[in-house]
């Protein structure tokens, strides 16, 4: 976060790294700030949940904690730790199952976007003028169309499934990754050290591997984090139009969507314990019924804010190359 006021640190460290980095510019060692560490902890937490999901969830994602009751939006109790949702299901279990799906989709889509976007972007940057021209124009064409519309057309054409969602989101965001990686690669290609390597007669692959990649890695990783967030929101937006993850499967964006009614609607019966032991009103009755929508919204927020905290550290280290790329 404090990139602009940075002072030269750890000169000794630099000299050790310098050996391996050949003729690259001297670099500063990467360190997380305390906010960065919070980000790392939260993101790790969610990834663990995503992986362990089915083993730790108290119920299945469509099971009912109160199988004989009709009422929805129950406040938290020992039986359902976060209460129940619009269809009487256990919110906690759905959050846990949803973690896997939400993170899985966005991670897979983002990786796909990077594989496609970076390889084409770097190809465009290092190849001749005509290939660059062709790739860039097609890419511009896709970029100029609104993302949600592209998604709509693809899903209307082939139907919605996890694979389709991943490929749609991946290819749509590949256009932006292409733009960024091409710009970054172009930028690096004209740097003095690359020109020196060229003059030395190094091959193209060598230049990509030894010169472009080390310099582009950091901005790329920080953009990767941002892209992850956009994919989550993109899929949530598709869910709003009924085209995202199909219910009853749990996905965070979907959960916010289907429980949106909880924000306004609180039937009195939804609170099994309106009074606590002391005879006072149970404060959970007000907010407890809204967990159905707040919990998934909070899950999205904590994940994305944490990724952002990490990204902030990374991009200040990368010296804001990300912004140039946009």
Give contact residues for another protein (rule: CB under 8 A). 1-6, 62, 70, 72, 86-88, 137-138, 140-149, 152-153, 155-157, 159-160, 229, 233, 236-237, 240-243, 246-249, 253, 256-257, 260-261, 263-265, 267, 293, 297, 300-301, 303-305, 308-309, 312, 315-316, 319-320, 322-324, 326
**Tell me, what DSSP letter sits at residue 90?**
B
Nearer residue to another protein within complex by CB, 118 or 322 = 322
Q: Which is nearer to another protein, 202 or 247 (CB)?
A: 247
Give the number of C-alpha atoms closer than 13 A to the C-alpha of residue 158, restricted to the C-beta side: 11
DSSP secondary structure code for residue 24 in this structure: S
Using the minimum distance from each CB to another protein, give the nearer residue, 118 or 235: 235
- Report in angstroms how near the CB of residue 202 gets to another protein at its nearest: 25
Compute the least distance from the CB of residue 279 to another protein, in Å: 25
Compute the CA torsion angle 301, 232, 310, 176 (nearest 10 deg).
-140
Looking up tokens 């790739």 gives 135
Q: What are phi and psi of 119, to 5 degrees?
A: -65, -45
We find the least distance from the C-beta atom of residue 53 to another protein, in angstroms, to be: 19
Nearer to another protein, 210 or 225 (CB): 225
CB of 117 to another protein, least distance (A): 17
- Please, are residues 106 and 232 in contact by the beta-carbon 8 Å criterion? yes
Q: How far is CA 285 from CA 38, 79, 127, 255, 257, in A?
A: 31, 16, 63, 20, 21
Cβ(109)–Cβ(309) below 8 Å:
no
Nearest distance from residue 162's CB to another protein, in Å? 12
Q: Which is nearer to another protein, 54 or 261 (CB)?
A: 261
Among all chains, which residue has been given the structure tokens 């390597």? 197
Minimum CB distance to another protein smaller for 62 or for 77: 62
Smallest gap, in angstroms, from Cβ of residue 260 to another protein? 5
Q: What is the DSSP string of 180-246?
A: HHHHHHHHHHTSHHHHHHHHHT--HHHHIIIIIHHHHHHHHHHHHHHHHHHHHHHHHHHHHTT-SSP
Which one, 104 or 237, has the nearer CB to another protein? 237
Tell the smallest beta-carbon distance from residue 173 to another protein (Å): 14
Could you tell me the maximum CA-CA distance found in the chain, to the nearest angstrom?
84
């Amino acid at each position: 976060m404090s990139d602009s006021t940075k002072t030269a640190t750890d000169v000794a460290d630099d000299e050790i790294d310098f050996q391996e980095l050949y003729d690259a510019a001297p670099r500063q060692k990467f360190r997380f700030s305390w906010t960065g560490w919070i980000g790392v902890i939260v993101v790790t937490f969610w990834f663990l949940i995503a992986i362990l999901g089915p083993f730790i969830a108290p119920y299945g994602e469509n099971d009912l904690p109160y199988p004989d009751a009709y009422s929805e939006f129950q406040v938290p109790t020992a039986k359902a730790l976060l209460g129940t949702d619009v269809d009487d299901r256990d919110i906690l279990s759905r959050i846990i199952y949803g973690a896997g799906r939400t993170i899985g989709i966005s991670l897979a889509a983002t990786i796909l976007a990077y594989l496609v976007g970076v390889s084409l972007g770097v190809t465009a940057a290092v190849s001749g003028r005509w290939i660059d021209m062709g790739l860039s124009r097609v890419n511009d064409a896709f970029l100029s169309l609104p993302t949600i519309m592209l998604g709509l057309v693809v899903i209307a054409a082939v139907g919605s499934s996890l694979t389709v969602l991943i490929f749609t989101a991946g290819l749509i965001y590949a256009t932006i990754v292409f733009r960024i990686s091409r710009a970054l690669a172009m930028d690096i290609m004209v740097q003095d050290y690359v020109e020196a390597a060229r003059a030395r007669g190094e091959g193209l692959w060598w230049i990509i591997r030894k010169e472009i990649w080390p310099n582009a890695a950091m901005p790329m990783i920080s953009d990767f984090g941002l892209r992850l967030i956009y994919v989550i929101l993109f899929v949530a937006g598709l869910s709003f139009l009924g085209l995202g993850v199909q219910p009853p499967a749990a996905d965070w964006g979907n959960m916010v969507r289907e429980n949106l009614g909880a924000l306004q609607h609180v039937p009195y019966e939804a609170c099994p314990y309106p009074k606590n032991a002391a005879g006072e009103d149970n404060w959970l009755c007000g907010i407890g019924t809204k967990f159905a929508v707040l919990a998934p919204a909070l899950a999205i927020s904590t994940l994305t804010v944490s990724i952002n905290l990490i990204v902030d550290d990374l991009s200040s280290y990368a010296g804001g190359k990300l912004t140039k790329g946009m």
